[in-house]
Chain A
Amino acid sequence: MPTIRIPTLLRPAVGGVARVEAEGATIGEVLAGAAALHPEFGDLVFESDGSLKRFLAVFLGGRDVRHLRGLDTPVPPGAEIIILPAAAGGAR
């Protein structure tokens, strides 16, 4: 079963843990699987149209899934998915 590494920002939505396992054959399915277990997680990860929140990047095998097939990117069994919030800001 794939594992999702949860950033600190999202941990309150999954009971405070750093990793969540969820079933699924694609990135979208795995994230949706986690959201089924933790609805607040889904609210934080998905836009209302089902797309990924813009301030989050999701990585599989060290590659940003936006540069692969997005939420349709296939996920091998046992793979680790890493979610990183954007590191951003600025003087204005």
Chain B
Amino acid sequence: MEVPAAVYEEMIRHARSAVPAEACGLLAAGPDGKATRAYCLTNLDASPVAYTVDPSEHIGALHDAEGHGWHLAAVFHSHPAGPPVPSATDVAKALEPAWLYVIIGLAPADRPSVRGFRIVDGVVTEEPIAVEAA
């Protein structure tokens, strides 16, 4: 997925602001599949090891994205103390086969890393995140 630098930085900013809890949000994309906006949303779990996007904010993001002619293409969350790879929980709870599952690893804190994965029927396939310069 192509992600503009501003959108990429917004995800990392949100992830850092939630430490020690996980942060989460949704990514909109245009018809070309390129990310257009990061919706930084509330983690109802407020936990360092779990996230649930607030459904009321999820529907708001959906309406906003569709109002711009976009669609929701990805969900992102952070692993504040672990690597940016899907956990067993991430795989088990991946219910949207059309989405890219983006994970932001914050360890080490000064070098965050962001990776994307398709998770379909329990099968995980990495898809590169290409950061587009501003």
Mark A residues whose CB is within 8 Å of B: 7-9, 55, 57, 59, 62-64, 67, 82, 84-92
State which residues 66-122 of B face A: CB under 8 Å: 75, 77, 79-82, 86-87, 89-90, 92-98, 101
Give the number of chain B interface residues (Cβ < 8 Å).
Answer: 36
Q: Which residue of A lies closest to B22 (CB)?
A: A90
Give the dominant DSSP class at A's interface: mixed
Total cross-chain contacts (CB, 8 A): 87
Q: Are A90 and B58 in contact (CB under 8 A)?
A: no
* B contact residues vs A (CB 8 Å cutoff): 22, 24, 26, 45, 47-53, 55-56, 58-60, 62-63, 75, 77, 79-82, 86-87, 89-90, 92-98, 101
Evaluate contact between A91 and B56: CB separation under 8 angstroms.
no
Interface centre among A8, A9, A55, A87 (most CB of B within 10 A): A87
